[in-house]
Copies of this chain bind each other. A is one copy, B any other.
Amino acid sequence: MTSTSQIFDRTVRKFETRERLDPDDRQALHDLPYQLRTIDPNRYIVREGDRPTHSTLIVDGLAFRQKVTVEGARQILSVHIPGDFVDLEGSLLQNADHNVQALTRCQVALVPREAIVELIRSSGKIAHAMWIDTLIDGSIYREWIVNVGRRDARAAMCHLLCEFSRRLEASGMASNGGYELPMSQEQLGDALGITPVHVNRVLRDLDRDGLIVREKRFVRVPNWEKLRKVGGFNENYLHLDQVVLHPTQAAHA
């Protein structure tokens, strides 16, 4: 136990699955300066157009990315869990091109932009692990394009429920008995590109057909295989098992 806090533990553990870090790298992560902040549900963490002065790490709670059309329709783009930096883009690109909001009450660590930039400059391995993170984010975006573009509401909902189940499970936030889905039906609609009224009907039908069991916002999946099939869900795109060899090792593999 060499570090002073557990704020970055989840992030370090995640990065370890991407790239074997040196002790120096781990220490550099743990030594990042930060400021803790608690953010209420729906409060903005990043706003479109911002030139952020810090990167935000989710320590506890969930957050989501969204974009609003000129007509005022909101589209949710992704959901993020503890250990995720939600605006690395902000440290590397010029301006935020979308918004990030807290989904549940969040505890976040604000890390100054310069500290992130310096960390990336000084450690190729951490930069590499972060890069892989953005590649996986990209992969999830691609699957969401398919979900809103080519699946009907019923299949898309099943797919979304499968994705949440697997991701929350993988990070220890869900048992196979089910999980707490902390989204309103309006938010679910914004994630799927449909109206909240239709979300309601789709959930009702899934419940009626025995694909899910709802208790408030807690979702149980009695038959995973059935849900998986209706949603056309294949978890490859989540790259949950992602382990990359060191470049030098990979070159010899």
Q: A residues bordering B, Cβ < 8 Å?
A: 49, 65, 67, 69-71, 73-75, 77, 88-89, 92-95, 97-98, 113-114, 117-118, 120-121, 124, 127-128, 130-132, 134-139, 141-146, 148-151, 192-193, 232, 236-237, 239, 241-244, 247-248, 250-251
Most buried by B among A69, A137, A142: A142
B97 touching A236, Cβ below 8 Å: yes
A145 touching B144, Cβ below 8 Å: yes
List, sorted by A's number, 20 A–B pairs whose CB atoms are closer than 8 Å: A67-B146, A73-B150, A92-B131, A93-B139, A93-B239, A94-B243, A95-B236, A97-B237, A98-B142, A117-B247, A121-B124, A127-B131, A131-B134, A134-B134, A137-B138, A138-B141, A141-B141, A141-B142, A148-B148, A149-B149
Smallest CB separation, A31 vs chain B (Å):
16
Query: Chain B residues near A248 (CB, 8 Å)?
Result: 121
Number of copies: 2
Closest B residue to A251 using CB positions: B114
* A67-B142, A127-B127, A247-B121 known; A74 vs B150 contact (CB < 8 Å): yes
Smallest CB separation, A237 vs chain B (Å):
4
Closest B residue to A65 using CB positions: B142
Smallest CB separation, A182 vs chain B (Å):
21
Smallest CB separation, A140 vs chain B (Å):
9
Bound state CA distance, A150 and B68, in angstroms? 9
B97 touching A139, Cβ below 8 Å: yes
